Amino acid sequence: TGERPFKCHLCERSFALQTTLNDHVRTHTGERPYACHLCPFRSAHRYTLKNHVRTHTGERPYQCSICLQTFTRGDSLRIHMYQH
């Protein structure tokens, strides 16, 4: 229905999910609760930490079906696909 009942008390934005609001509030507070266990990197978002850890592990789970090049992030693959 497009309902966005969760409102940020620090700005005008509102969200459909409480978890999305929680993530958003970290942009104001600077809180970075997700820590890399291999280096000092910290992130406000779990998915950012997951992508970062791939720089250590070498994991590249996204593969182009045309040229077989691999990527650490799905958005990098999507950008790459425009080249084909």
Task: Compute the average pLDDT of residues 23-41.
Answer: 96
What are the E-state strand segments in 10-83? 14-15, 34-35, 42-43, 62-63, 70-71
Q: Return d(Cα 40, Cα 49) in angstroms, integer.
A: 11
Q: Does residue 4 form part of some domain?
A: no
* pLDDT at residue 1 greater than cutoff 80: no
Q: Which domain holds residue 71?
A: 34-81
Which amino acid does the sequence have at 82? Answer: Y
pLDDT tens column, 36-63: 999 999 999 999 999 999 999 999 999 9
Task: Compute the average pLDDT of residues 29-33.
Answer: 96
In this predicted structure, what is the pLDDT of residue 33?
Answer: 95
Total tally of structural domains belonging to the chain: 1
Nearest to 24, CA basis, from 46, 51, 40, 45: 45
Q: Does residue 41 form part of some domain?
A: yes
What are the E-state strand segments in 5-71? 6-7, 14-15, 34-35, 42-43, 62-63, 70-71
